[in-house]
Amino acid sequence: MPPAPAASDSVGAVTLITGPEEFLAERSVRAVVDAVRAVDGDADVTEVVGADVGADALAELTSPSLFASSRAVVVRQIQDLSERAGEAIVRYCDRPDPDVALVLVHPGGQKGRGLVDQLRKADTVEISCEAMKPYDLPRFVATEIRRHRGVIDEEAARLLVDAVGADLRALAAAASQLSNDFAPEPISAEVVGRYFGGRAEVKGFAVADAALGGRSADALEQLRWALGNGVAPVLLTSAFAGGLRGLARLVSAPRGLREADLAREVGVPPWKLKTLRAQSRGWHPIGLATAITAVARADADVKGAADDAGHALERMVLAVSEARSAG
């Protein structure tokens, strides 16, 4: 797990976040911003993507704010920076502003690798967010439980991974749910089995795969079966969000990449590419944007914005299925 940065390591420095594991990268970005705001509650926070940053714009972004003593600037997708903007950032690393925390995010893959190598040689603090190996997932679960002041034994952690799957966002949500209900009592395999029994048969990603593949009737049937077996609604919206992110990355990935490089670019294991390719044939950018919006709305609904989580999830499945043919 990436370490939580301190404000003293972030302000007046450049933090480089690399790797395809989006959940860990997003958490690392948030940790830097939180560290800055812990010192200066009025710190100005600006987030941009690489394609929108010119060499001249960088100077403006990293200049002290008129309204706050500290500033955090997050530049995502730095592989899309122009050559001049990349050179300007490398030069900036030699003399960073003492009141600015600059965060640079690279999702892995070959694009922009040269810039990352230059930044590593410069004065930056790198946080690596590589995809986790299957054998590391129980340890991730245990760490997540500890974040919530809980305790889980090794057998229970393995059982939770078997039930929920390898998606870190879903595992983190499950760990949070268990911790909120049981901490500080130890979480046993019996507790995990009671909460997530039947999950191995119907996982969130199975519902998402059916909907993203255009099998709306199958997706609705599996959704009802999943909810009937106690699958947490937040795990279902997380599975849909993860599936759509994978599709969006596949559609926008550079042509001609080798299989392993493409998997890193998309942020999925190589075996998942076959499923994504099959799903992507019916998707267009407009439809993807519509589906992502529908999932975001459903996620808010199941977290309290709506009274009936089941109805919100059914509406999400239908909206995603309809979006598949849009564009």
Residue ranges and CATH numbers for the domains of the chain are 7-128 (3.40.50.300), 132-196 (1.10.8.60), 201-327 (1.20.272.10)
**Where does the pLDDT of residue 40 fall: very low under 50, low under 70, confident under 90, or very high at 90 and above?**
confident
CA distance 89 to 254: 24
**Where does the pLDDT of residue 68 fall: very low under 50, low under 70, confident under 90, or very high at 90 and above?**
low
Q: Which of 58-62, 103-107, 203-207, 267-271 has the lowest mean pLDDT?
A: 267-271
DSSP letter at 51?
G
DSSP letter at 187?
B
For residue 154 the two structure tokens come to 């090794």
pLDDT, position 202:
45
Instruction: State the chain's mean pLDDT as an integer.
Output: 85
Q: Is 8 exposed, middle or buried (0-12, 13-18, 19+ CB in 10 A)?
A: exposed
The residue among 3, 104, 127 whose CA lies nearest residue 50 is 104
Crossing angle (nearest 10°) for helices 233-252 and 285-300: 160
CA distance 175 to 143: 9
User: pLDDT digits over 261-314, tens only?
Assistant: 887 788 766 667 777 888 888 888 889 999 999 999 998 888 876 678 889 999
pLDDT, position 161:
83
User: pLDDT digits over 191-202, tens only?
Assistant: 887 777 655 444
pLDDT, position 264:
79
